[in-house]
Amino acid sequence: MTPKTLLIYKHQKELEEARETELTDVSAWMTGAYISKAISCFLSNDETYPEKNVFFNADQFELTDDDIEEIISENTQIAAANFSEWAKVANESKGR
């Protein structure tokens, strides 16, 4: 593999780690919000604890057109780099 190919894989790994960190942060925030709500219920008779989840919205995790285009672009770069390496090896083996 060439350094350029490795950079593509490195970039993809960094994106995955950033997404995982973001999800962890949101999860921690939601936990804090629920704890705050529970404490409010204990301190005030006017508050009630939610019957179902309050913050989760499945629409937040749907891919936008820009996200899809970015994924396609990244996959195309990876495929091009892999093909380039394959072609290089194939051409070298023919020359021998």
pLDDT at 58: 55
What CA–CA distance (Å, rounded) separates 4 from 13? 14
Q: Are 8 and 76 in contact (CB under 8 A)?
A: no
pTM of the model: 0.45
Q: Are 73 and 3 in contact (CB under 8 A)?
A: no
pLDDT at 95: 64
**pLDDT (tens digit, 9 = 90+) per residue, 45-82?**
888 877 777 666 655 556 678 878 888 888 888 888 88
Mean pLDDT of 87-94: 81
**pLDDT (tens digit, 9 = 90+) per residue, 7-52?**
888 888 898 999 889 888 888 888 888 888 888 888 888 888 777 7
- Structure tokens of 91? 């051409």
